[in-house]
Structure 1
């Protein structure tokens, strides 16, 4: 004989939302907790991700506002290959450059340039408000990608935290309901057993 797997129909799954004699107040509360938890999971994850992405974007914008690009000149030929310990980063190596700051003062420093670039090559470097060389700010597609990734990484943990809080509340409610059932059974059980024995 083939057994049909037991499946719950939609009305059965939603029994806490329907009026019936077996439904208790705690069942209604649990249904609302489950609904609120899932809504907050979705909203919390989205809002946390959006807030993180906005904060990242604002950080990039602030960084771009604090630095500016300057045209510099290589003072020596750039190395053909980088030292073994430093590693090659996007085909660039450290080299000495010279530039003139906004006050007309000539400055020198080290900047990343393409390997093998000859002396006299014009390169763009970035300086802060004090005139020091700094790394280029994150812009364009790279900034967008990092902003999106930050939001995507923050959203799941935030949603998980909300779900865990809702699960903890529901678990406590279930334990309380089981305790209530136990107390009621202590009162009803003896009478039911007497009734059953009497029928025999």
Structure 2
């Protein structure tokens, strides 16, 4: 048995023909407007999201101050996982540094991760939050750029998909109303056809 072929005609809703309903034209406009609005809004939201992420990364980087710390001692056994035996490329260590954030020199100690080859008494880089607390190192330029791009892309996708979703809901509502009208008209016309048969 041969399969029936269905030819897809692009833009059929825009072409004038006797089978085209008013709802087909309305649907075509809804689709066009939804895609246009989704594209524009996605670009704008993506730019705003990327700028917000950029400001957050710059604020985070600006709040971390570098200090030179002296390695006091490493935490015993922190270079290898006791269960799996995996060696880590960083180990926990106690460090000492001079904090000048409050205007006077205060010696502080804390724990950071260092390379396993670092020896007690050596100088290691550390980062503080400007209030004497140790924090992790700021993100590098490549990671900061990745965060900005991902944030912008994510916001753009969410904004665009939201607009497309709303457009699809409106389109389905128009389709449903057209189908209801078509059904009501079929009921009216179908009764007359029924009387002429037989």
Shift of 1:77: 5.3
1:169 Cα deviation after fit: 1.0
The aligned counterpart of 1:62 is 59
Which residue pairs with 1:31 in the alignment?
A: 28
- Structure 1 runs, 4 residues or longer, greater than 6 Å off: 1-4
- 3-state DSSP of counterpart to 1:137: coil
TM-score, scaled relative to structure 1: 0.80
Q: Give the alignment partner of residue 42 of structure 1, picking from 39, 43, 59.
A: 39
Partner of 1:6: 6
Report what 2:120 is aligned to: 119
| C-alpha separation in 2, matches of 1:150 and 1:171 | 31
1:26/1:114 Cα in 2 relative to 1: closer, same or farther (>3 Å)?
Answer: same
TM-score (norm 2): 0.81
Q: Which runs of 5+ in 1 are unaligned?
A: none
Aligned length: 193
What secondary structure does 1:15 align onto? coil
- Give the aligned partner of residue 71 of structure 2: 74
Comparing 48-57 and 129-138, the one that deviates more: 48-57
More helix by share: 1
Structure 1 residues 62 and 88: CA distance shift in structure 2, 3 A: farther
